[in-house]
Structure 1
Amino acid sequence: MDTMEVEEFSSAQGPTSPSVGNFRLSSEIIMQILRFLGPKDILSMRKTCRMMHTVTKDRVVWLEALKRICEQYGIFKPTFPMEGMSLLELEHASTGPTRFLNGVKKHEPETWVRPYLTRMPQLRESRSSHDSSYSNAVHLVPGGRFLFTSGRNDICLFDLGYSMNVPVKPFPIATLKDFGELEAVAPTTNGKELLIATIKRPPPGAPASVILYIHQIKPNRQSKDLKFWCKGQMEMNGLQAHSFIGDVHLTSTHTIFRCNQEFILWNWGGNTGCRWPTSNVFLRANYMPFYAFKDTLLACGRHEGICIYDLPTATPLAIRDQARPVQLYDLQSLTNEPKAWFPSPDWEAHTIKHCASSVWCKNSPHDPHVCLLYQNDETSHLRLYSIKPLKGPETFLPHSLPAPGGHTFYGDDHEFSVNQILPTLFRCEDELVICMSTDQLGLMMSILPVPSKATLEEITPTTVALVPAGSLREDIERSQFAFCPRSGRAVYLGSSGASDDVQVVDYLLPPEEPFLEFSHP
């Protein structure tokens, strides 16, 4: 068989007319091909010949690569001032997720990954304030640049910079006062702005009412009076502050939450919604973790079994006075029973926690995944699932079902037990990343393989310590630490217990010449 040799183009030919056998490919064609490759493949192409080296040094190639990485991994695009970034910065940002994971894997299991920089910025609510902002919860927007803090009925949005060589801005770029506590953050449909859901509970002695607010903000807008804009609010009159149970699932168009013994689906933009009772047969009366995606809802039931619901179609709200906010009972009540139920691993009572693929990855071509963590006094049993859609008009089966992707244990052979787990399950190429706090008040990170098929076999994760024991606040909640493997950044409330003890930890070096592909973080 004849072979085709790649001819090095001469200076007379120029970079626009390399030859491949009897064919000539322009650099424009090569650049179009590179638009479909990931950063790792682009760097591999760079090593093949001088022509490829020249083409892969074009700024447009890496600008497109960073945009694809943001889409694939659910990174908030305004994290990066792309048009103003240098070629070096674009390459650094595009390869960040891979370089971070490759660096972590060089550590021995359960050893401490030493950060390059740890900062405790004195985050203040305003320039006139001498006291730091009170923080009881933190939320790091995917990409690692924008940080929400919540406490004392106020929410602040801070700019930490898109890499560690960009200083943290000590004052919030926007503040939202008197709208309750932060519950969830999501991107808008165009991916250029942020949505937040807050819950405001009545003060002691006030008339019983719980209010859900949806606000929107464009954080990279160059304006001194950057503000949150209210997109909708729902009043739940007659409910006590403790009546609101469960997490808030927020997307670019709607929110889902549980109020007492009902699930609530509300599309604030389309003025539609519905509610349906939780099943008395399967679901518990107290706190119940749940996860919603596309057209399916997974909820924890009795004996820690998992109920599978189809999401019903939202209907127009009942006729109401347009001058008043939406009321909970404006939403039509429907009948919607679970279509499947999966028991816990051993049919015994546990404490169950979960993490799942983020709403930020809505444009990802990959199936979403869910990790369920079953805990008892001695061990934590983690089970991984891939959510697979079911095809066909069969009405008795749910729209989607979880397929087992393996399991692992924490506690038997580990020197720690899991305390809290972040609700977000991150994906970087063919690996999944979870972050958890331990009973020793440290942060651990585990890397799991993406399931290639349904399996019940045990998997061996790569587990390392991001933050050493004793660093976190006692009795830390999952809303009091945050992590973004795409940027190699973690944020947590420190062990001092002070309201201003917010730690920002970076594990990726800023870009420097010469750029080393996939070097140690």
Structure 2
Amino acid sequence: MDSAQDPTPSAVTGNGSFRFSSEIIMHILRFLGPTDILSMRKTCRMMHRVTKYRVVWLEALERVCEKYGIFKPTFPTEKMSILELEHASTGPTRFLAGVKMYEPDECVRPYITRTPQFRWERRSYDFYGYDTFHLVPGGRFLFTCNSHVVCLFDLGYSMNVHVKSTPLAILKGFGELKAVAPTTNGKELLIATTKGRVRSSTAQVNSAELAGRTAAGAPSSKILYIHQIDPNHRSEDLKFCCKGKMELHYGPEAYTFTGNIHLTSTFAFFKRNEEFVYWNWEGNTGCRWPASGMLHSTQFHAFQDTAMLCRTNGQLPRAAGPTTRPGGPNERAEGTLPTPDGGDGVDMCAPSVWCENSTLDPHLCLIYLTRDTSYLHLYSIKPLPGPGSPFLPRSLPVPGGHTTKFYGDNHPSSSFYQLLPYLFRCDDELVICTTSNERGLLMSILPVPSKATQEEITPTTFALVPAGSLMEDIERNQFAFCPMSGRVVYFGSSGESDDVRVADYLLPPEEPLQEPS
């Protein structure tokens, strides 16, 4: 237990003639970021003392989690010292500052890289293997999936904490892991899985089903499951709890999901064949509308009531999902963004669902591919004023700059054939992590747009993982990056299923907190 607890005196006296209530000082600190609080600490002995109170950093860490979409249960705050709370609160700022100490295009060296030998079963060393994983924002909890087995692992909230090789919980028989999201209260985790269902050859089917019957033994429908789990509920029999189930109708292509699933605390949004589906799994209501003209691999991202979609012609429409009136008429409004001449395709990089409740404006990166180069266009997503129609878009993409040198001049990975996960916000900068042509990981930093502009921007790129370190033909869900914790997780170059590497770029606190005399 730390010696610095919540303040007991009713007032704190400075060197001058003023007397300040400690509650007033702490109220002022609630409007400051972690680095500003540390700056205030240096002003005088009074501020130095107040900024060492535990409650100041508990509140600061909570604000940081809400601002950057960090899963709050990542941190066992009741067990953490004041210094650890300070360390966690300043994590995003210190990570960027540490990276910028290197020269652009230089490889950033992690303080430690571990290769934990994860196991499915608690008492067996024989069951290895996972094809995909998902790192929860905060860098502590990791989901893996292989052969319809989903495992939840605890990597620890800092590199000082031992990585547990056995899973906290296992989910078998519910299909492949598709998405992860927080619950409404932010204290538990939700996952979406999909599983094919095979109908018995002796089962009776109607004429419509018979016309769409697939080959014997092939899935004839798809089931979407929503499960919930509390990773901090320490129990030997910690289990996933099924919260929703949606079976899609039978047919030759009814089980085919394309693209990703946008999962939130209340609904799931996805593309299935030639239609978009909105399912309020919490209330078991929903609707669907045609997705004509869209590729099977259509990318999309939902911003409240507006869905941003990539068309086959490389353009990005602005389409409104009728999330305010589930089951209503299939009406929608669309608008398009211009594409560069000669564009052959478009890739989208958007913030994760974890940032939905953040007070910061979301941003969107579009990478247009051409025969000779690639164009990056940055947008800020601004809410439209007024109530408007429930079937009109509620968000507007505002241009925030562009660049044709995403990796800078003469970078060896100048041709853009890389994988993009999410777009992260750290302080006043945007961060993207991509794979390189040489099987490494690159981190690019872009400025946050302060106004609508068509001007050119200049990203700064650093190598996080050296060339040749990633497995060949790595996929988007086979590496993860969390700038809030300074942690990267990826499949190693050996290609073995148990070669998952955890690289930490933030040093944990080492010196004990010195209290003022």
**TM-score clears 0.5:** yes
After the TM superposition, which of the residue ranges 432-441 and 238-247 deviates more from structure 2? 238-247
For the residues of structure 1 that align with 2:254 and 2:490, how far apart are their CA atoms? 27
1:262 to 238, 257, 275: 275
1:215 to 227, 234, 241: 227
- What do residues 304-325 of structure 1 show as CA deviations (whole Å, max 9, x unaligned)? 1011112214556xxxxxxxxx
2:352 to 351, 354, 358: 358
Counterparts in 2 of 1:124-139, with a 5 A limit?
124-139=119-134
1:59 CA drift (Å): 1.1
Work out whether residues 272 and 315 of structure 1, in 8 Å CA contact, stay in contact via their aligned partners in 2: no
1:339 CA drift (Å): 2.5
Q: Determine the structure 1 residue equivalent to 2:207.
A: none
Q: Indicate the SS of the match to 1:92.
A: helix
Q: Determine the structure 1 residue equivalent to 2:98.
A: 103
Residue 289 of structure 1 aligns to which amino acid in structure 2?
Answer: Q
Cα distance change on mapping 1:117 and 1:15 into 2, 3 Å: farther
Identity %: 64
- What do residues 100-134 of structure 1 show as CA deviations (whole Å, max 9, x unaligned)? 00111111111100000000000001132222531
For the residues of structure 1 that align with 2:321 and 2:427, how far apart are their CA atoms? 29
Q: Residue 238 in 1 paired to residue 251 in 2? A: yes
1:414 CA drift (Å): 1.8
Unaligned runs of 5+ in 1: 1-13, 317-331, 517-521
Work out whether residues 132 and 499 of structure 1, in 8 Å CA contact, stay in contact via their aligned partners in 2: no
Work out whether residues 222 and 255 of structure 2, in 8 Å CA contact, stay in contact via their aligned partners in 1: no
After the TM superposition, which of the residue ranges 387-396 and 139-148 deviates more from structure 2? 387-396
For the residues of structure 2 that align with 1:302 and 1:33, how far apart are their CA atoms? 51
For the residues of structure 2 that align with 1:220 and 1:126, how far apart are their CA atoms? 19
Q: Determine the structure 2 residue equivalent to 1:9.
A: none
After the TM superposition, which of the residue ranges 121-130 and 403-412 deviates more from structure 2? 403-412
1:195 to 179, 190, 209: 190
1:462 CA drift (Å): 1.6
1:205 to 202, 205, 217: 217
Q: Determine the structure 2 residue equivalent to 1:145.
A: 140
Q: Determine the structure 2 residue equivalent to 1:391.
A: 385
Normalized against structure 1, the TM-score is what?
0.89
Residue 380 of structure 1 aligns to which amino acid in structure 2?
Answer: S
Q: Indicate the SS of the match to 1:304.
A: coil
Normalized against structure 2, the TM-score is what?
0.89
Work out whether residues 37 and 51 of structure 2, in 8 Å CA contact, stay in contact via their aligned partners in 1: yes
1:336 CA drift (Å): 2.6
1:54 to 44, 49, 63: 49
For the residues of structure 2 that align with 1:495 and 1:132, how far apart are their CA atoms? 21
- What do residues 418-465 of structure 1 show as CA deviations (whole Å, max 9, x unaligned)? 433333211111111111111110000011111000111111112100
1:27 CA drift (Å): 2.0
1:214 CA drift (Å): 0.5
- What do residues 38-65 of structure 1 show as CA deviations (whole Å, max 9, x unaligned)? 1011000000011111111111111111
Q: Indicate the SS of the match to 1:423.
A: coil
Q: Indicate the SS of the match to 1:420.
A: coil
1:372 to 353, 358, 366: 366
Q: Determine the structure 2 residue equivalent to 1:156.
A: 151
Cα distance change on mapping 1:439 and 1:56 into 2, 3 Å: same
Q: Residue 73 in 1 paired to residue 86 in 2? A: no
Cα distance change on mapping 1:107 and 1:207 into 2, 3 Å: closer
Q: Which stretches of structure 1, 4 residues or more, deviate above 6 A after TM superposition?
A: none
Residue 366 of structure 1 aligns to which amino acid in structure 2?
Answer: L
Residue 270 of structure 2 aligns to which amino acid in structure 1?
Answer: F
Work out whether residues 481 and 491 of structure 1, in 8 Å CA contact, stay in contact via their aligned partners in 2: yes
Residue 82 of structure 1 aligns to which amino acid in structure 2?
Answer: T
Residue 145 of structure 1 aligns to which amino acid in structure 2?
Answer: R
Work out whether residues 284 and 302 of structure 1, in 8 Å CA contact, stay in contact via their aligned partners in 2: yes
Q: Determine the structure 1 residue equivalent to 2:422.
A: 424
1:378 CA drift (Å): 3.9
Residue 352 of structure 1 aligns to which amino acid in structure 2?
Answer: V
Q: Determine the structure 2 residue equivalent to 1:413.
A: 410
For the residues of structure 2 that align with 1:161 and 1:96, how far apart are their CA atoms? 15
1:514 CA drift (Å): 6.0
Work out whether residues 439 and 467 of structure 2, in 8 Å CA contact, stay in contact via their aligned partners in 1: yes
Unaligned runs of 5+ in 2: 1-8, 199-215
1:376 CA drift (Å): 3.3
Q: Determine the structure 2 residue equivalent to 1:290.
A: 300
- What do residues 455-477 of structure 1 show as CA deviations (whole Å, max 9, x unaligned)? 11111112100000111111111
For the residues of structure 1 that align with 2:476 and 2:64, how far apart are their CA atoms? 27
Q: Determine the structure 2 residue equivalent to 1:16.
A: 11
Q: Residue 309 in 1 paired to residue 306 in 2? A: no
Q: Determine the structure 2 residue equivalent to 1:251.
A: 264
Q: Determine the structure 2 residue equivalent to 1:324.
A: none
Q: Residue 481 in 1 paired to residue 479 in 2? A: yes
Q: Indicate the SS of the match to 1:465.
A: strand
For the residues of structure 2 that align with 1:60 and 1:515, how far apart are their CA atoms? 15
For the residues of structure 1 that align with 2:417 and 2:83, how far apart are their CA atoms? 39
Cα RMSD, aligned residues only:
2.1
Q: Determine the structure 1 residue equivalent to 2:288.
A: 275
Q: Indicate the SS of the match to 2:124.
A: coil
Work out whether residues 272 and 314 of structure 1, in 8 Å CA contact, stay in contact via their aligned partners in 2: no
Tell me the number of residue pairs that the alignment of Structure 1 and Structure 2 aligns. Answer: 484
Cα distance change on mapping 1:53 and 1:189 into 2, 3 Å: same
For the residues of structure 2 that align with 1:445 and 1:392, how far apart are their CA atoms? 38
Work out whether residues 34 and 89 of structure 2, in 8 Å CA contact, stay in contact via their aligned partners in 1: yes
Residue 359 of structure 2 aligns to which amino acid in structure 1?
Answer: P
- What do residues 148-203 of structure 1 show as CA deviations (whole Å, max 9, x unaligned)? 11111111100000000101000000011111111110000000000001111357
- What do residues 357-383 of structure 1 show as CA deviations (whole Å, max 9, x unaligned)? 222112211111111112234423211
Q: Determine the structure 2 residue equivalent to 1:519.
A: none
1:265 CA drift (Å): 0.2
For the residues of structure 2 that align with 1:46 and 1:313, how far apart are their CA atoms? 47
For the residues of structure 2 that align with 1:85 and 1:460, how far apart are their CA atoms? 39
Cα distance change on mapping 1:18 and 1:257 into 2, 3 Å: same
Q: Indicate the SS of the match to 2:90.
A: helix
- What do residues 262-308 of structure 1 show as CA deviations (whole Å, max 9, x unaligned)? 10000011121000112x4xx33431111111010010113210111
